Structure 1
Amino acid sequence: MFKKILIANRGEIACRVIKTAKSMGIATVAVYSDADRDAVHVEMADEAVHIGPPPAAESYLVAEKIIAACREAGAEAVHPGYGFLSERASFCEALEAEGIVFIGPKPKAIRAMGDKIESKKFASDARVNTVPGFLGIIEDADQAEKIADEIGYPVMIKASAGGGGKGMRIAWTRDEVRDGFDRARSEARSSFGDDRVFIEKFVVEPRHIEIQVLADGHGNCIHLGERECSIQRRNQKVVEEAPSPFLDAETRAAMGAQAVALAKAVDYQSAGTVEFIVDKDRNFYFLEMNTRLQVEHPVTELVTGIDLVEQMIRVAAGEKLRIAQDDVKLSGWAIESRLYAEDPYRNFLPSIGRLTRYRPPAEGRDGDVVVRNDTGVTEGAEISMFYDPMIAKLCTWAPDRLSAIDAMSDALDAFVVDGIEHNIPFLAALMRHPRWREGRLSTGFIAEEYPDGFAPVAPNDEERAVLAAVALAIELLRRDRLDRLCDRLAPHSGAVKTDWMVRLDDDYLPVQVVEGMISLPLEMDISVDGAEPVTVSSDWRPGEFVWSGKVGGRRVVAQLRTALNGTRIAWKGLSVYARAMLPRIAELDRLMPKKLPPDTSNMLLCPMPGLVVSINVTEDQEVKAGETLAVVEAMKMENVLRAERDLTVIKINAHPGDSLSVDAVIMEFE
């Protein structure tokens, strides 16, 4: 077994690999750029080597610097994680030339499966089901249009060297093919240094289901069941689960058999993933094979009990698999939510900045529920514009799917992140979405269910009652604390006024305390809007960011943030301004004028921190609705900003190459 390995990556995946290596008694070496000098993975490793400036192209993507770090630290092997150099055959060969082991597959498999065009040809020859398409090199947009016409719409335009949703476009018409071809090539060139694209048939109502394979260098290969990854945005996975709620035993066995056959055909050695598109009739088609550890591997580990990183290390060290196919048993259900630094209320645009608060829920087992949080950040860390915006991967396991979803809902509600925008509100709302809970999924789920983008959902009557009860409980304890601090009552009686009014945004609900005294832990009976009294209990203390307790026997976990004269409560994707008042104060509160936001309707504001790629209009130009105004790149994704109505450009404030902050004025209109 290896004595020391280097992790050629950063963030949560570097931390993940370090944890397993340490449990195996293997020393670890981290590498870091200037931006990651104080990163968690650097602190966790036994040693750390500096490899350059923040841009990945000058640090994490430079094979020579990784190899030099191996020499400096005396590392015997390299685990690449995912992304960066993990699927570059030349890197694997360069390591071998230096006598350093690559913890992953051999160059032959990487080359065969790493190129999407070649992998589909290979899969077709191996009699693996493939999607109809054109796998050759497409020279220009004219050829792309002709090919799309022959295949039939809709089609998917994809970067050959792509991944992570970059360099991908769906085209429903000839016009969209030309624009999508240009954008896909541009993104592919920027992200991968390779602008080749191919076109294939887009499967309507598709589900993205992948099979985890594991193979050694002695001819043994098994699969560890499937993961459903259909909840995606811009072809980027957001939520994954294992197993799939859609597959039956027969389809699972057939997909597993094809995945194993393909892995054996390329003499695969390590952990890998064969991805399939599955239609509504459970027909499945090969999509690609990822010759590396997947981001979503924790859900497979949770349902199988198999540490994939450990298996990768053992295989790379020349060991035989100790697990046979019959040993693989799927137990319970696991959900993974990817926490991204992005603003769900602004079409999920990236957000950067410092984590002023970062307090994830407690990990471990609590009864029948397991919580796991794979992360590479801590409070005070900075989310940089140079790297992927993922903050953490929050996972829950439970005996069945709905229990795992409910556990995820509570864990998300308890996950405190401040300082940047993040997608926890969206993930929390998703956990209560009826279609998600029923398992009726497709890769178009987000676009179909949120066609106008994600917006705060208005609470129903039952939820309003719960929020009102929580708001009153907060206010009673806050007032009690102030009374004690000010020594207004000595000794304090614990008595409480009975009649209250709770404001939830613009609604006012009468709330009555039926029975109980102010004490910790709190327990009292409350009636909301004349309904039957319910018992509210909690051990929450003023100043804590998470309220945890029960309302009418229902477990409630909600996040609290101080707002003007009140509290903002976030719960299950809901977000409301709440204020509990005495009735007379509520009468006066209704009379207070509202402050209106400034009018920016005649401005194009930069929706995220980013780099201006192009300005597509000129001053005094008349523009029609839907026309492109500018393109802004953020975190390697190009975002096209279009006119929402007919207008005339009167002033342009930004130019290509400019770095803009959020809400910077790009141009003004008449």
Structure 2
Amino acid sequence: MFKKILIANRGEIACRVIKSAKAMGIKTVAVFSDADRDAVHVAMADEAVRLGPPPAAESYLLGEKILKACQTTGAEAVHPGYGFLSERASFCELLEDNGIVFIGPKPKAIRAMGDKIESKLFAQKAGVNIVPGGLGIIEDADAATRIAAGIGYPVMIKASAGGGGKGMRIAFDEKECRDGFDRARSEARSSFGDDRVFVEKFVVEPRHIEIQVLADAHGNAVHLGERECSIQRRNQKVVEEAPSPFLDAKTRAAMGDQAVALAKAVDYQSAGTVEFIVDKDRNFYFLEMNTRLQVEHPVTELVTGVDLVEEMIRVATGEPLRFRQDDIKLDGWAVESRIYAEDPFRGFLPSIGRLTRYRPPAEGPLGEAIVRNDTGVTEGAEISMFYDPMIAKLCTHADTREAAIDAMRDALGRFEIEGIEHNIPFLAALMAHPRWREGRISTAFIDQEYPDGFERPAASDETRHMAALVATTIEIARKQRLDHHIDRLREHSGALRPAWVVKVDGDYLVVDVARTMTGEGGDVLYRMTVDGRTFTVSTDHRPGISPWSGSIDGEQRTAQLRSRPNGMTLFLDGIWLEARVMSPAVAELDKLMPVKLPPDTSKMLLCPMPGLVVSIAVEEGQEVKAGETLAIVEAMKMENILRAERDLTVASLKAAAGDSLAVDAVIMEFQ
């Protein structure tokens, strides 16, 4: 067994690998860029080595520097995590040539499967069904449109060396194909240093289902079931689960057998994933093989009990697999939500900044379920524009899919993040979505269900009632604390008042408190009425503590709490609600207060996220039609095209190519 390994990565995956290594008694070495000097993975490791400036091309992508770090620290092996150098055969060879073990597959397998074009050719020769398309390199937009016309629209233009949704575009006509070709090649060059792209048929209403495989150097290979990864946006996975609610036993066995056969054919040695597109009739087509650990591997670990990182390390030392196919059993259901630093209300655009508050739910039991949170950040950390916006992977495991989803919704409600925008409101709304809960999903789910983008859901009467109840208990507890510390306020503070009015998102709800008493364990029991309905509320909430937790009519509820002047905001049922608790007299006066309107920005193009202006596509005085490109802004390695929402004329340009802009910075103004 290795005595010391180096993790050539950052963030949550570096932390994940360090955890398994420490459990195996293996010392660890972290590497870091200047942006990650104070990162969690650096603190967790036994040693740490600086690589260089923040851009990945000047730090995490420098194989020679990582080799030198191994030689300096005496690391015997390198675990690459995912992304960066994890699927670069030349890096694997560099290590091997210098006596360092690469904890992953051999260069032959990486080359055969790591390149999307070559992997399809290999799979085709091996008798695996592949998606129709052009398997050759596309030299220009004319060639791309010819191939697209031959196989029929829609088509997908993909970077050969791509991954994570980068360098990928869907085209429904020739114009989109030409534009998508240019954008995909540009992103591929920026993200991977390789601008090769190819075109394939886009399967309408597909499901993205992948098989986890594990193979050793002795010819043994097994699969560990499947993961459903169909909830995606911008071709990047958002929610994953294991197993899939769509597969039957016959299809599962066939996909597993095919994945194992492919792994053996390429002499695979490590953990890897064979990805498939599955249509509505359960026909499946080989998509690609990822020759590395997948982001979503925790759900497989939760349902199988297998530590994939540990098995990768053991295989790399030459050990045979410790189990056979018959030993692999799927237990229960697991769901993973990727917590991204992005704004779901602005088309999921990236958000950067400092985490002024970062309080994930506690790992371990949550009711009948189990919570796991893989993360690489902590409170006070800064989310940088240089790297992927994912900050955590929240997982729940339970006996059934419904129980795992319910636990995920509860856990998301307990996940507190401030300082940046994040996608928890979207994830919470998704967990309550009927189509998701029924398993009727495809990779087009987000586009179909939110065609105009994700908007804050309207609060139901039930949710508004819950908010009024929670807010009232918080206000009573606050006033009772004043009574406790200042006796003379008791008769004036209002803590004993039976009649309250709670303003919830502009609606005034009358709340009557019929009875308050202390129950067992110190919980306070309330008998409360809202809109003629009576509730029993029990909570041990103390002022200043977030989240609020308790039971309402016997059902456990959680609400995040943020104090505001003269009120509070509550995160309940996936929605942030403004709440203000008042006496009836104050409520009558509040109704007379004017409402402040937001400023008019309809004649401005604002930068939707912090980023770098790649290009400005218009000039001052130019007339632009709706849908035409105005500017391109790059953030977190993704190029975002900003288009005109209506016909207009450009009055003035406020930014130029190369400018670094903050969110809501003015790019141009219109007449």
Q: 1:360-439 counterparts in 2 under 5 A?
A: 360-439=360-439
Per-residue displacement from partner, 1:40-67 (whole Å, max 9, x unpaired)? 1111111111111111101100000000
State the Cα distance separating 1:488 from its structure 2 match: 2.5
Q: 1:638-657 counterparts in 2 under 5 A?
A: 638-657=639-658
Per-residue displacement from partner, 1:405-454 (whole Å, max 9, x unpaired)? 11111111101111111111111111111111111110011111111111
Structure 1 residues 215 and 525: CA distance shift in structure 2, 3 A: same
SS at match of 2:512: strand
1:62 aligns with 2:62: yes
Whether the 8 Å CA contact 1:476–1:518 is kept in 2: the answer is: no
Q: Give 1:588's aligned amino acid.
A: L
Counterpart of 2:485? Answer: 485
Per-residue displacement from partner, 1:231-277 (whole Å, max 9, x unpaired)? 10100100100000000000000000010011001000000000001
SS at match of 1:488: helix
Q: 1:343-362 counterparts in 2 under 5 A?
A: 343-362=343-362
Counterpart of 2:550? Answer: 549
State the Cα distance separating 1:521 from its structure 2 match: 2.3
Percent of pairs identical after alignment? 75
Counterpart of 2:584? Answer: 583
Per-residue displacement from partner, 1:148-205 (whole Å, max 9, x unpaired)? 0110111111111100000111111111111111111111111111111111111111
Structure 1 residues 518 and 458: CA distance shift in structure 2, 3 A: farther
State the Cα distance separating 1:281 from its structure 2 match: 0.8
State the Cα distance separating 1:365 from its structure 2 match: 2.6
SS at match of 1:15: helix
SS at match of 2:373: strand
1:632 aligns with 2:625: no
Q: 1:473-552 counterparts in 2 under 5 A?
A: 473-489=473-489, 496-517=496-517, 521-531=523-533, 533-552=534-553
Q: 1:25-104 counterparts in 2 under 5 A?
A: 25-104=25-104
Counterpart of 1:116? Answer: 116
Whether the 8 Å CA contact 1:494–1:517 is kept in 2: the answer is: no
Q: 1:150-165 counterparts in 2 under 5 A?
A: 150-165=150-165
Whether the 8 Å CA contact 2:483–2:490 is kept in 1: the answer is: no
Per-residue displacement from partner, 1:315-368 (whole Å, max 9, x unpaired)? 000000011000000000001010011111111111111111111111113453
Q: Tell me the distance in 1 between the aligned counterparts of 2:460 and 2:594.
A: 26
- Misfit runs of 4+, over 3 Å: 489-495, 517-520
Q: 1:183-202 counterparts in 2 under 5 A?
A: 183-202=183-202
Counterpart of 1:564? Answer: 565
Per-residue displacement from partner, 1:103-157 (whole Å, max 9, x unpaired)? 0000000000011001001111111121111110111111111110110111111
Q: Tell me the distance in 2 between the aligned counterparts of 1:664 and 1:614.
A: 15
- Give TM-score, length-normalised by structure 2: 0.98
State the Cα distance separating 1:574 from its structure 2 match: 1.4
Q: Give 1:480's aligned amino acid.
A: Q
Q: Give 1:87's aligned amino acid.
A: E
Q: Give 1:548's aligned amino acid.
A: S
Consecutive unaligned residues of structure 1, counting only runs of 5 or more, are none
Q: Tell me the distance in 2 between the aligned counterparts of 1:524 and 1:371.
A: 30
Whether the 8 Å CA contact 2:334–2:397 is kept in 1: the answer is: yes
Counterpart of 1:611? Answer: 612
Q: Tell me the distance in 2 between the aligned counterparts of 1:359 and 1:467.
A: 21
Whether the 8 Å CA contact 2:113–2:289 is kept in 1: the answer is: yes
Counterpart of 2:212? Answer: 212
State the Cα distance separating 1:492 from its structure 2 match: 11
- Of 333-342 and 498-507, more deviation after overlay is shown by 498-507
- Of 514-523 and 410-419, more deviation after overlay is shown by 514-523
Q: Tell me the distance in 2 between the aligned counterparts of 1:101 and 1:371.
A: 34
State the Cα distance separating 1:579 from its structure 2 match: 1.2
Counterpart of 1:145? Answer: 145
State the Cα distance separating 1:506 from its structure 2 match: 1.3
Whether the 8 Å CA contact 2:535–2:552 is kept in 1: the answer is: yes
SS at match of 1:371: strand
Q: Give 1:629's aligned amino acid.
A: L
Structure 1 residues 582 and 135: CA distance shift in structure 2, 3 A: same
State the Cα distance separating 1:496 from its structure 2 match: 1.9
Whether the 8 Å CA contact 2:479–2:495 is kept in 1: the answer is: no
Counterpart of 2:663? Answer: 662
Counterpart of 1:469? Answer: 469
Q: Tell me the distance in 2 between the aligned counterparts of 1:650 and 1:483.
A: 60
Whether the 8 Å CA contact 2:482–2:489 is kept in 1: the answer is: no
Q: Tell me the distance in 2 between the aligned counterparts of 1:656 and 1:221.
A: 51
Q: Tell me the distance in 2 between the aligned counterparts of 1:11 and 1:488.
A: 53
Q: Tell me the distance in 2 between the aligned counterparts of 1:601 and 1:290.
A: 45
Q: Give 2:528's aligned amino acid.
A: I
Q: Give 1:115's aligned amino acid.
A: D
Whether the 8 Å CA contact 2:209–2:244 is kept in 1: the answer is: yes
Q: Give 2:344's aligned amino acid.
A: P
Whether the 8 Å CA contact 1:537–1:550 is kept in 2: the answer is: yes
Per-residue displacement from partner, 1:573-632 (whole Å, max 9, x unpaired)? 212101121111111111110111111110101010000000000001111111100000
Whether the 8 Å CA contact 1:396–1:404 is kept in 2: the answer is: yes
Counterpart of 1:446? Answer: 446
Per-residue displacement from partner, 1:60-109 (whole Å, max 9, x unpaired)? 00000000000000000000000000000000000000000000000000
Counterpart of 1:294? Answer: 294
State the Cα distance separating 1:518 from its structure 2 match: 7.5
State the Cα distance separating 1:563 from its structure 2 match: 2.3
State the Cα distance separating 1:572 from its structure 2 match: 2.3
Q: Give 2:481's aligned amino acid.
A: R
Per-residue displacement from partner, 1:468-492 (whole Å, max 9, x unpaired)? 1111111111222233333324699
Per-residue displacement from partner, 1:252-306 (whole Å, max 9, x unpaired)? 0000001001100100000000000111111111110000000000000000000
Q: Tell me the distance in 2 between the aligned counterparts of 1:178 and 1:56.
A: 29
Whether the 8 Å CA contact 2:509–2:530 is kept in 1: the answer is: yes
Whether the 8 Å CA contact 2:479–2:493 is kept in 1: the answer is: no
Q: Give 2:265's aligned amino acid.
A: A
Per-residue displacement from partner, 1:502-533 (whole Å, max 9, x unpaired)? 111111111111222479522111111112x1
Whether the 8 Å CA contact 1:353–1:384 is kept in 2: the answer is: yes
Structure 1 residues 633 and 494: CA distance shift in structure 2, 3 A: closer
- Of 13-22 and 510-519, more deviation after overlay is shown by 510-519
Q: Tell me the distance in 2 between the aligned counterparts of 1:590 and 1:268.
A: 69
Q: Give 1:582's aligned amino acid.
A: S
Structure 1 residues 367 and 348: CA distance shift in structure 2, 3 A: closer
- Of 487-496 and 371-380, more deviation after overlay is shown by 487-496
SS at match of 1:183: helix
SS at match of 1:440: coil
Whether the 8 Å CA contact 2:114–2:161 is kept in 1: the answer is: yes
SS at match of 1:586: helix
